Chain A
Amino acid sequence: DARVTQTPRHKVTEMGQEVTMRCQPILGHNTVFWYRQTMMQGLELLAYFRNRAPLDDSGMPKDRFSAEMPDATLATLKIQPSEPRDSAVYFCASAFTGGWTEAFFGQGTRLTVV
């Protein structure tokens, strides 16, 4: 059963610490997305990659967030330094774009910065 795998599921960290979230997209999918879910903003697109190339990271605070895709099986989202306002659920999703397809989501990482 193909699925998007995200780690960790939960993360509690102190303000100022570095946080790294990882995502393994579905094999064969060529596009990977990072979304942030908050009560007020719904699902915000932070960044996405197509064929491992970053296409859009305009939704990401550049000074503290970075997203990379070192290979086709791994995408990472880093926050350094973390702040309490970063507390949210972070989702990774993958899709095969270029055809008719929906995005498949991982189970998300619930991040709490104290």
Chain B
Amino acid sequence: AQTVTQSQPEMSVQEAETVTLSCTYDTSESNYYLFWYKQPPSRQMILVIRQEAYKQQNATENRFSVNFQKAAKSFSLKISDSQLGDTAMYFCAFMPTTTSGTYKYIFGTGTRLKVLA
């Protein structure tokens, strides 16, 4: 079975500091997609960043970057220069490629991040 594990239920960081959220996953697939979603208090799920497993280069979106370690099945999210608006629940998600015949996104249990002023 494919699973996604986020081992940090809650984290906090000072404004302007850097924080890293952990995510590990388990799969026998060789190719797949990985995502980080943000859920602020509004409840809306917002895509933060995504990564294709066949790409070795780590994805970056402004202050957000990932550390993708395929052999270790690890996909951590680094937030630089944290802002108060980054306070949210963050979900890691996995989707196998379409060659598997499976199209579902599998989510971790989330990490609640609080940015402190």
Contacts and interface: CB of A to CB of B under 8 A. Distances in A.
A108 interface: yes
B3 to A, nearest CB: 11
Nearest to A98: B98
A98 B107 CA distance: 19
B103 A31 contact: yes
Interface string A63-103: 00000000000000000000000000101010101111011
Interface in B53-109: 91, 93, 98, 102-109
A45 B33 contact: no
A91 B47 CA distance: 15
B44 A107 contact: yes
B43 A100 contact: no
A31 B107 CA distance: 17
Interface residues of A, number: 25
A88 B72 CA distance: 34
A24 to B, nearest CB: 16
Interface string A50-72: 10000110000000000000000
B52 to A, nearest CB: 7
Contacts of B102: 56
B90 to A, nearest CB: 11
A103 B33 contact: no
A42 interface: yes
Contacts of A89: 43
Given A33-B104, A102-B50, 19 more contacts: A35-B107, A42-B91, A42-B110, A43-B110, A45-B104, A45-B106, A45-B107, A48-B103, A48-B104, A55-B103, A56-B104, A93-B45, A93-B105, A100-B33, A102-B35, A103-B93, A105-B45, A107-B44, A108-B43
A-B pairs, 5 with minimum CB distance: A42-B109, A105-B45, A43-B107, A97-B103, A102-B47
13 contacts: A31-B103, A42-B107, A42-B109, A43-B107, A48-B104, A50-B103, A95-B103, A98-B98, A100-B33, A100-B52, A102-B47, A107-B42, A108-B43
